[in-house]
Structure 1
Amino acid sequence: MTDELLIKFLLKETSEEEGIAVQNWLDAAPSNAKHFEQFKQIWNSSKKLSTQSNVNGDEAWLRFKQRASAAHQPLVRRIKPTYQWLKIAAVLFLIAAAWSVYSIFSPVSYTPITAGNTINKQLLPDGSEVTLNKNTQLSYATNFKKNRSVHLQQGEVFFNVLHDKTRPFVIDVDKIAVLVVGTSFNVKHLNHQTEVIVETGIVKVSLGKDEIALHKGEKIIIKNTTDKLVKMQSTDQLYNYYRSNEFVLNNTPLWRVVEVLNEAYNSEIVIKDPAIRDLTLFTTLKTTASLADNLKTICLTLDLKSVRNENQLLLSKNTK
């Protein structure tokens, strides 16, 4: 996307085809929308300066070109002189030049945080706290105190975000953006599916043009095929097991328990008999216990049996 076209878009001088191209670009990724907002701020500043400046457009362009050449990278293309707003654009280019050259030599980089076979709990530079479940990859902007931006590559993270209205906290997960000011919530991104569960406060989740606000006790599940965001109630506290070290089961159906145990122990428990899928459990299991011990408790409680079949553990009704 060229700066020339973005300026035309801001001035509402794009053709219908150009306008659609810009809008599609904005919807393609949260990072594009963020770049556009920065560009818009620079443009607005340039309009204020243009009323006070008698800068020569051609001279300004030449100075900008020299700065861009010094950075050995073509930053923008010259706007055709037929546009009447060349002088305003020249001021924009002078402002953008300093920002662009600085960005080239001091690009925004990200600091990784990972969790292997153990839970990883850390403080971010702004004082926000993150707890990474096993096998999670996360990164945050190195200038985090100014730019509270986080990328979740894969895994599961609980965020306890420090309140700051002036600097929103943004998490990018593929094409999904999670925006908060100060709250606590859980984000899981596994197997091409993203889940957000809010524990306190309000969280805004956006996908393309669609945006939804989640409150305490609400969650959203976004799959690759999702085209509309729909929130729902969070029915259990099992998402919290890696922080609490407990599987709290309160009228929890067996299929849900199996789902979480497979994730926690990297196992393959299979419910062989569909008739037992919705049997419910009222108990608390420890994450420090072995999978065999926890399965034994479940089988005794529901009168089930567990049989190993190669890598699978098959659950069915006990017929003895």
Structure 2
Amino acid sequence: MSHHTELTDQQKDDAALWCARQAGGSMSPRRQAEFESWLNADKGNRIAFEEMRQLWGQLEQPAKRLAKQRRTVWHMIAGPFSRPVTIGMAFAVILVALCAVWSGNPWLLQNLRADIVAGPDVTSRFQLPDGSAVILAANSAVTTDFDGGRRSIELLRGQAFFNVVSRHGDPFTVTSGEASVRVVGTRFGVEHLNAGTVVTVEEGRVQVAGWQKNNNVEIGPGQQVSVLDGGLKTPRKVDPIWALSWLKGRLSVEDVRVADLVAQFARYENDRIVVMGALADKKISGTFTTANIPASLQTMAAALDAKVVRISPWMTVVY
């Protein structure tokens, strides 16, 4: 397609996501309404979606032939799965791979699962169906389940701060990796890190559990607990303003792995950031701005006697 509209990375990501959702089967009326609203919101959205749709069209016939040729092998592996489902799975795998390459979005699969995906802003606020609210850090993602009286959230990645309203004693649960948080009404933050999950309470009380048996603890205002490898660390006292500084555009860390800090930096950038060698496991403490990630990377590197090299428009290496 020939056009003069410069497409943004966000438009490409969104177009790939909508194509993948459509290829996966019929969308709910709510999803369809969201899609049409997105499509009509900007000319570039429509152009990006049409380009992605054409790419899928070019791949569709080869995918059908491949699925037909391989159906015997698929049946041997899949057992009870029907042929239409198996072929659909082949289409979905190919499309997701295509979308990931086309959009350059390493979080595409998580975005397919998510009900809410925060944009590039430092923080984004969302109202939940029960009247509670969640503030997400940039590029964080959650799933939600409020059907049948449930109040459940899964933090797929990033950081979230919840202001939970009490509702007749009904519990509000948040899962993140191997951690589970259960509350009735409170204000608390959850951080999904590569190495585990960190829960910080500003107001009220929450019960935090890991996957290990009989492994739970209750913490209150000004307390924080980490869940690593399914096990709880000893709760500690923290200053909530410091521990939740990401709400104000800062990342304040104490004795964290460089790889975990860089993973947080990466959510605020379109570039991929790679940490090389033993540097990834070194520990660092400090406060870094999220408004200027290249500057924060340089600050971190200076503290560790490391170097930062931008090797392409899409990748930065720290070593």
**Structure-2-length-normalised TM-score:** 0.48
| Structure ranking higher in helix proportion | 2
TM, length-normalised to structure 1:
0.48
Larger radius of gyration: 1
